[in-house]
């Protein structure tokens, strides 16, 4: 069931208004500001930075202490901070955000604050808070990017995304809401060959204008289609957007070959927000109105390739100021070929996630298991190693909240994903060593995929 685009757009507008999210007002502002000159964009960022720091000084004691220690309090109060002055503040990391949350969050932020849990591929769960401003900015940024590709709000989209093991009443209501705004959700956590056949048929019948999902899951579906000699006929389709992890060249080529349209990459994180999106001109454009992105080497100096350190200009509820993402990105000195004043990234280099395979043949994005661990209090850091379809090693660095109930919740949650016969080896450690390469991988599967599926996921 699909509805006319004008109706879906109206439902979406009504939803955002009911939730007091100014998404469409922000969208109008983003569509105006993207055409600022680069100098004007820098001035716009500086204005928003001063507002963020002023709020942090007033409402976030942890940040306020750092602002005073850096000797920039007077400039913040006067609203005269320049972008270059941001480097006078020290960076913050996930541990800082986790350990000082009550000294960071502004519970009186307009529109309220909402807790969220993230672990992503970092292996270090984090509970943080965001406000309506951040929610609206992420949604509006994605809507703006869709319009670059000729996809308007309310037009049919497919989401290849994570979904719960069992749908409760709230999830069923969300499914109805998704259909009323012309979004079709396909579960990336249950991709058996038979299920992928169903997905390809559902996508054909839905005939979307955009497909959105995890990069590796979309590549997996494309490889399955090719192995089945299925060429989806999707006359309305304009773009496939990938998110959640880097898109490798062979995966891009495969997805474009199977679906017959260009691929657009999205770069974001739950804690840091939506940071960059691919344009039809083949560049990765920063959300310059909402984020300042620094690229720093290991010594903390500006570099062409290094860690992305972000300041979210829409994070007043819990400010993320010079926040170390752990992601490796490569900066570009190019301007947008389309004439926008948005910054350009060359590539997002880090953040690879494995698949895991259940005993019944389902192929799951690793986030299916990460979601379990990150929701359990007491897990400071983790690593999952799948040795066989029915055997999983779970390494946990516990914090002070860890107890027997937390351990039982880990086992129960993982068996809900991979089956009741799963053998879980739970190991409590003081630290988790990196791979021999020096990199950290937080979900590692030694269960191989077969044929073209293995190549797509590699």
Instruction: Give the pLDDT score at 439.
Output: 44
DSSP 179-202: HHTTEEEEETT---HHHHHHHHHH
Q: CATH code at 365?
A: 3.30.300.30
Determine the pLDDT at residue 156: 97
In terms of Cβ atoms closer than 10 Å to its own Cβ (0-12, 13-18, 19+), residue 77 is: middle
* 295 in Cβ contact with 302 (< 8 Å): yes
**Among the ranges 30-44, 342-356, 361-375, which has the highest mean pLDDT value?**
30-44
Mean pLDDT over 100-129 rounds to 82
Tell me the β-bridge partners of 395: 383, 427
- For 25-37, give one letter per residue: b (16+ CB within 10 A) or e: ebbeebeebbebe
What residues pair up with 392 in beta bridges, in sequence order?
Answer: 386, 424
Please, which residues have CB within 8 angstroms of residue 392's CB and are 6 or more apart in sequence? 384, 385, 386, 414, 418, 422, 423, 424, 425
User: Tokens 């983790």 correspond to what residue?
Assistant: 382
Angle value at C-alpha 10, between 22 and 239, nearest 5 degrees: 85
CA nearest to 313, candidates 114, 16, 83, 103 = 83
Which positions ≥6 away from 355 have C-beta within 8 Å? Answer: 216, 220, 363, 364, 365, 366, 445, 449, 457
Q: What is the maximum span of the chain, computed from C-alpha positions, in angstroms? A: 66
Distance CA(367)–CA(162), nearest Å, equals: 8
Within-domain flag for 405: yes
Domain assignment present for 54? no
Q: What is the arithmetic mean of pLDDT over 137-162?
A: 96
Residue 444 lies in a domain: yes
- What tens digit of pLDDT does each residue of 291-323 get? 999 999 888 899 998 889 999 999 999 999 999
pLDDT-derived band at 452 (thresholds 50, 70, 90) equals low
| 451 assigned to some structural domain | yes
Using one digit for the tens of pLDDT, what is the confidence trace for 376-435? Answer: 988 877 889 999 999 999 999 898 899 999 999 999 999 999 999 999 999 999 877 755
Rounded to an integer, what distance in angstroms lies between the CA atom of residue 195 and that of residue 360?
12
* CA R_g for the chain: 22
Residue 335, domain member (yes or no): no
Give the global pTM: 0.80
| Under 8 Å between Cβ of 268 and 274 | yes
* pLDDT band, residue 437 (cuts 50/70/90): very low
Copy the structure tokens of residue 168: 């409760």
Residue 148 lies in a domain: no
CA-based nearest residue to 397, from 413, 378, 411, 414: 378
Residue 21: strand pairing partners: none
Domain total in the chain:
1
Mean pLDDT of 216-242: 91
Percentage of residues of the chain with pLDDT beyond 90: 63
Mean pLDDT, range 67-96, rounded to an integer: 95
State the pLDDT at residue 361. 84
Given this model, what pLDDT does residue 2 score?
80
406 within domain boundaries: yes
Looking up tokens 């989401």 gives: 159
Q: Confirm whether 225 is domain-assigned.
A: no
How many helices (H) does the chain have, and how many strands (E)? 15, 19
Q: Write out the residue range of the structural domain in which residue 426 sits.
A: 355-457
The CA-CA-CA angle for residues 301, 307, 309, to 5°, reads 80
In which element (H, E) is residue 251 found? helix 249-259
Structure tokens, 277: 């999106």
């Amino acid at each position: 069931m699909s509805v006319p685009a004008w109706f879906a757009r109206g439902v979406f507008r009504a939803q955002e208004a009911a939730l007091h999210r100014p998404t469409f007002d922000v969208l109008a502002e983003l569509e105006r500001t993207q055409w600022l000159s680069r100098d004007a964009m820098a001035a716009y960022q500086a204005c928003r930075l001063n507002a963020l720091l002023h709020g942090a000084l007033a409402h976030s004691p942890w940040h306020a202490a750092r602002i005073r220690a850096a000797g920039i309090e007077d400039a913040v109060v006067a609203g005269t901070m320049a972008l270059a002055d941001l480097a006078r503040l020290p960076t913050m990391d996930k541990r800082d955000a986790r350990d000082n949350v009550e000294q960071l969050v502004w519970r009186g932020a307009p529109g309220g604050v909402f807790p969220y849990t993230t672990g992503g591929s970092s292996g270090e769960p984090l509970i943080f808070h965001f406000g309506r401003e951040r929610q609206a900015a992420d949604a509006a940024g994605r809507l703006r990017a869709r319009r670059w590709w000729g996809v308007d709000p309310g037009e049919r989209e497919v989401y290849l995304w994570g979904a719960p093991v069992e749908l409760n009443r709230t999830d069923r209501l969300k499914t109805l809401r998704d259909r009323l705004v012309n979004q079709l959700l396909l579960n990336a956590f249950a991709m058996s060959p038979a299920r992928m056949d169903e997905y390809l048929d559902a996508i054909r019948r839905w005939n979307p204008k955009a497909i959105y999902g995890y990069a590796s899951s979309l590549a997996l579906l494309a490889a399955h289609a090719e192995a089945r000699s299925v060429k989806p006929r999707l006359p309305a389709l304009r773009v496939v957007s990938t998110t959640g992890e880097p898109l490798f060249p062979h995966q891009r080529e495969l997805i474009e070959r199977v679906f017959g349209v260009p691929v657009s990459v999205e770069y974001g994180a739950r804690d840091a927000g939506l940071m960059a999106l691919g344009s039809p001109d083949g560049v990765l454009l920063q959300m310059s109105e909402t984020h300042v992105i620094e690229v720093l080497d290991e010594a903390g100096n500006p570099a062409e390739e290094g860690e992305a350190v972000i300041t979210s200009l829409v994070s007043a509820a819990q400010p993320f100021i010079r926040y170390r993402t752990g992601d490796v990105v490569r900066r570009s000195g190019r301007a947008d070929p389309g004439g926008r004043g948005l910054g350009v990234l060359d590539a997002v280099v880090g953040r690879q996630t494995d698949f895991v395979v259940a005993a019944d043949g389902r192929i799951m994005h690793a986030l299916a298991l990460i979601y379990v661990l990150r929701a359990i209090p007491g897990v400071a850091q983790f690593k999952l190693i799948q040795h066989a379809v029915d055997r999983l090693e779970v390494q946990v660095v516990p914090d002070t909240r860890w107890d027997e109930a937390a351990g039982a919740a880990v086992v129960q949650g993982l068996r809900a994903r991979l089956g009741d016969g799963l053998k879980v080896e739970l190991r409590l450690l003081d630290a988790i060593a990196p791979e021999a390469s020096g990199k950290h991988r937080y979900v590692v599967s030694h269960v191989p995929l077969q044929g073209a599926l293995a190549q797509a996921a590699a």
